[in-house]
Structure 1
Amino acid sequence: MTEPLSITASVVGITTAAIGSVKFLYTTIGNIKDVPTALGNIRSDLQAVEPVLQELYTVLESEDSQVLLIDDIKGAVENCNSACSTFQKSLDHWMRHATKYKAFWAEWTDRVKVGIFEQGTINVFKGRLNDCKSTLIMALSTSSVLLIALGRLTVTRQGFMMKEVKDSMLKSNELRLDKEKARANRELAAIESSLKQLSVSIRDAVNEESKRNLEQLLEEMQEQKASNEVFRKTCEEALFETKNIHNGIEQEIKNTKADNNGRAVAGLINTPGEVRNIKQNISDTSARGGSFAGAGIIQDLNLSIPSSGNE
């Protein structure tokens, strides 16, 4: 099993690469003379996502990085880095067709107005970039909310916060996550509709060049769908974690037993982080003949180590 520290280190490396890709693409577009508005607007999107990546890097370097949903964070940052690299290649391809910037961009802009290839690529890239930004913002903000609710992040001069205020803060985060999840679902429906239309266009393509361009756009849109799935999953997991803290966990555990040298455990065995308001109803737990039986919040238990008697 991969250790948490090594996972965090890998995300730090990917985040560093993504920050570099964002900066490089931002500079590249900025150096283009007479850049079309549709392309120039991408710089604003890049400018918006960079500080979020920088904040993520800072949090990953802190002691509370384990609160983040690391798997989803890694996927979001990888998508961001991949999106920037893919768009950089498309941009290089478009620019290779020019001998002079002005002449090229005038021709390119006209084609964008009547075609779907370049504009489609731009829209997909903006969608992937936005999904990455939204995923990171959701994870980072939820991380802060949970740290405050768990008392591990001080936000008042007195160093404590009333339960009512914490409950209100957690409830607000739940509502916000519900809205973001609904938005992600709407975006997914739009992406799937576009994918279907694009598949029909590929089938009816008038020539090989059009077919290749459409197939490339289809691949890029499938990557956008993957980015959306990471965003939706982050909302779901962040909502689950928030509700765990806010509403607590209820468990009813009965008849936990181990016989004939067997082992049995039950109830939040390796619970990550801290959980408040746990309600458990545990009964009939027993162990016989040197076996082990446990119930309720047992962390870091390795049952592969033979026991030497009742524990």
Structure 2
Amino acid sequence: MSDPLSITASVVGITVAALHGTRRLLEDLQQLKDAPKTVKRLVEEVHSVNTALTLVQDVEDREWELLGADLAELLRTTIFNCKQACDLFRTDLQRWTRHSEDGKLAWKDRANVGFFKQAQIKAMSEQLSNYRLTITSAVSIVTLYISVRHSHITEEIKKTISTTQAEVKSAITTADKKLVILESKLDDINLSDDDGAAGFIEGKSETLRQLEGELKAAKVSQKLLNSLLSKSQEEAVAKAAVPSTTVTFGDQNSGLQAGTINGGVNGISFGGK
């Protein structure tokens, strides 16, 4: 069995690496002058993922333990997939813009990025959007657990639970739709005929690799989101809260009666002679 401490530590470790990856990709994208709109949208998504990863980094190792080792491992895998997607796309971007210098796109590269690679750029934006939703959902749940660790389930916390559940359910709906789309695209490209042209075969191979990576990552994200939804149930959250204790003093209402109370007190009754 994996050590929970090592798993939560690996969440923090992979987050540091992922932040490095997103920032390097962001630097490369921002260097492109007069970039197409799809690239500008991608820049926004990379910014958003970077912010989400920073939120993960702000949570201490021991606090991720509140969600359990299995969920922490799913989160670690999701963040790793995000890092890998950014690294692979950065490699592709450098290849697509290899004729350009000082951020100014050469005409050949402009045609490549502005037309031929639009589908891949758009797909990357959508992929990062899904990562952002999944990662921020995890942060919302762990924040909820942290908030009840030293208190009870109040009406305010119940409202927070309801809001968090709605957010996670929305993310699950988005993830489910994305899975259907990816599986359909993968089927289409596998059924398509190769026309023998080297450029076509290379493009198909590149698209296939991207789709397979997206599908694999989407399945992990879907599993993580479903686990988060389970953790967001009020009964599950209540287990992380301070246990309530009912204290009853007996029928001796005179003299000193002392004891130790562990946890909160939700009921005190005094007996009488």
User: 1:73-93 deviations in whole A, cap 9, x for unaligned?
Assistant: 111110111011101110111
Specify the alignment match of 2:131 in structure 1.
132
- TM alignment of 1:213-232, pairs within 5 A: 213-232=203-222
Aligned to 1:143: 142
Q: What code does the residue aligned with 1:29 have?
A: L
Cα gap change, 1:103 to 1:46, in 2 (>3 Å): closer
Rounded to whole Å, the distance in 2 between the matches of 1:3 and 1:112 is 45
Structure 2 residue 105 is matched with structure 1 residue 108:
no
- Aligned residue for 2:182, secondary structure, equals helix
The residue matched to 2:32 in structure 1 has which SS?
Answer: coil
Give the match for residue 188 of structure 1. Answer: 179
Say which SS state the counterpart of residue 96 (structure 1) adopts: coil
Q: Which runs of 5+ in 2 are unaligned?
A: 244-273
Change (3 A) 1:218 1:60: farther
- 1:177 equivalent among 165, 168, 184: 168
Q: Does the Cα contact within 8 Å between 1:11 and 1:74 map onto a contact in 2?
A: yes
2:98/2:109 contact within 8 Å kept: no
Three-state SS of the structure 1 residue aligned to 2:97 is helix
- What is the DSSP-based 3-state SS (H/G/I as helix, E as strand, rest coil) of the residue aligned with 1:213? helix
Give the share of equivalent positions with the same residue, in percent. 22
Following superposition, the deviation at residue 192 of structure 1 comes to: 1.3
The structure, 1 or 2, with the larger RCO (C-alpha pairs under 8 Å, 6+ apart) is 2
**Cα drift, residue 26 of structure 1:** 0.9
Paired position in structure 2 for 1:49: 49
In 2: Cα distance, 1:55 partner to 1:185 partner: 25
Q: Which residue of 1 aligns with 2:95?
A: 93
- Report deviation, 1:119: 1.7
Counterpart CA distance in 2 for 1:88 and 1:210 is: 21
CA separation of 1:25 and 1:221: change in aligned 2, threshold 3 A: same
Q: Does 1:233 align with 2:234?
A: no
Match of 1:165 among 147, 156, 177: 156
Distance in 2 (alpha carbons) for counterparts of 1:235 and 1:135: 6
The one-letter code matched in structure 2 to 1:172 is: T
Report the secondary structure of 2:144's partner residue: helix
Residue matched to 1:67: 66
| Count of aligned pairs | 240
What RMSD over aligned residues (CA atoms) do the two structures have, in Å?
A: 2.7
Structure 1 residues 212 and 177: alpha-carbon distance in aligned structure 2, compared to 1, 3 A threshold: same
Deviations 1:250-290 (A, max 9, x none): xxxxxxxxxxxxxxxxxxxxxxx74899xxxxxxxxxxxxx
Deviations, residues 55-109 of structure 1 (Å, cap 9, x unaligned):
1112034x312124211211111011101110111011112234786462x3334
Distance 1:131 1:103, change over 3 A: closer
Distance 1:153 1:229, change over 3 A: farther
TM-score under structure 2 normalisation? 0.77
Contact map agreement 1:138 1:234 (CA 8 A) in 2: no
Structure 2 partner of 1:58: 58
Distance 2:114 2:54 in 1: 35
Deviates more, 1:221-230 or 1:63-72: 63-72
TM-score with structure 1 setting the length: 0.69
Pair 1:152 & 2:149 matched: yes
State the SS of the aligned residue for 1:175.
helix
User: 1:52, 1:145 → 2: CA distance?
Assistant: 16
Task: Work out whether residues 45 and 128 of structure 2, in 8 Å CA contact, stay in contact via their aligned partners in 1.
Answer: yes
Paired letter, 1:82? Q
Any stretches of 5+ residues in structure 1 without a counterpart?
155-159, 249-272, 278-311
Q: Verify: 1:83 aligned to 2:74, yes or no.
A: no
One-letter code of the match for 2:181? A
Distance 2:20 2:114 in 1: 31
Higher mean alpha-carbon deviation, 124-133 vs 135-144, is at: 124-133
Q: Which has the higher helix share?
A: 2
C-alpha deviation, 1:3, in angstroms? 1.3
Tell me how far apart the structure 1 counterparts of residues 121 and 144 of structure 2 sit (CA, whole Å).
34
Following superposition, the deviation at residue 146 of structure 1 comes to 2.9
2:87 and 2:232 map into 1 onto residues whose CA distance is 34
* Aligned partners of 1:170 and 1:246 also within 8 Å: no
